[in-house]
Structure 1
Amino acid sequence: MNELQSALEQEVYAVVGASNNKDKYGYKVFKFLENHNIKVYPINPNASQIEGTNCYGKLSELPEKIDVVVTVVPPQISKKIAEEAGALEIEYLWMQPGSEFENAELYCEKLGLKCIVNECIMVEMRG
């Protein structure tokens, strides 16, 4: 089984860049996962809630260990999230298209992360 398929079978996700703005992909990805009955935590230091769900400022504030971090943020923020995810021993980092940084796969591998790039989680889950 490849890493993409394995990541899709995980149970607890976090979306970094989750937003209350319905036009942003941070909102769309968060709601998509939520609507597919996946346990998902929104991460955004500038929001306290996303549609009634408590929002967290960073991964280390989450009440439980997560399996997959999905980033919907600029590449330089994804790189910082990779460092935090590696330190927290999170298994997967899924960077939505446009969120990936240069040499992300190699960088994540050094941090002990399995990395998915160039794939949209909403497309892959519909698969």
Structure 2
Amino acid sequence: MSVEPIRQFFTAQAYAVVGASPDVTKYGNKILKWYIDHNLTVTGINPKEPTIYGVQSLSSISNLLNSAGPEARFSISIVTPPRVSEATIKEINGLKSQINGVWLQPGSYDAATLAAAAEGLNVIAYGRCVLVEGDEGIAAAAARL
């Protein structure tokens, strides 16, 4: 599989994890921690938790993007059930000029989620996982600087 979509994903200024969780057994926690451990600027998206690992958490992607200004560039990992992921993708479609990529983690999408993605949105899916391929993507993005 091509590393190009992942390289593009890691050229963002900041990242968000939709479905960030304080529960260490959940992938929303493991992925948020991965971003923190890689010293990447990350925000959790969880309407019930104001902070996780000392990182700010917001209730929605729109809150993040609207507060950041139109020049900010984000990449977003989604770790939610498919119906929630589909709604998030629809929310992102309206703000996609600020999005470098959307990484749909395994189990977070179905056919309807993928169909909801607007043309031109860099979507990484089909079993690809940031925990497995993220380091390679960071290296590819750094090599192009």
| Same structural fold, with TM-score higher than 0.5 when normalized by the shorter chain | yes
CA deviations on 1:36-55 (whole Å, 9 max, x unpaired) are 01111100011111122221
Deviation at 1:95, TM superposition (A): 0.3
Amino acid at match of 2:85: S
Which one of the candidate residues 65, 84, 87 is aligned to 2:94?
Answer: 87
1:119 match: 128
Does the alignment pair 1:18 with 2:26? no
Give the 3-state SS of the residue equivalent to 1:70 in structure 2. Answer: strand
Indicate conservation of the 8 Å contact 2:8/2:101, yes or no.
no
Indicate conservation of the 8 Å contact 1:109/1:115, yes or no.
no
Which one of the candidate residues 24, 28, 31 is aligned to 1:29?
Answer: 31
Deviation at 1:5, TM superposition (A): 2.2
Give the 3-state SS of the residue equivalent to 2:58 in structure 1. Answer: coil
Deviation at 1:125, TM superposition (A): 1.7
More helix by share: 2
TM-score after normalising by structure 2: 0.78
The unaligned stretches of length 5 or more in structure 1 are none
Deviation at 1:8, TM superposition (A): 2.7
TM-score after normalising by structure 1: 0.88
Amino acid at match of 1:71: I
Q: Which has the higher contact order (CA 8 A, sep 6+)?
A: 2
Report the number of matched residues: 126
Indicate conservation of the 8 Å contact 1:14/1:66, yes or no.
no
Amino acid at match of 1:76: R
2:46 match: 44
Instruction: Give the percent of matched residue pairs that are identical in Structure 1 and Structure 2.
Output: 32
1:2 match: 4
Amino acid at match of 2:83: Q
Change (3 A) 1:75 1:108: same
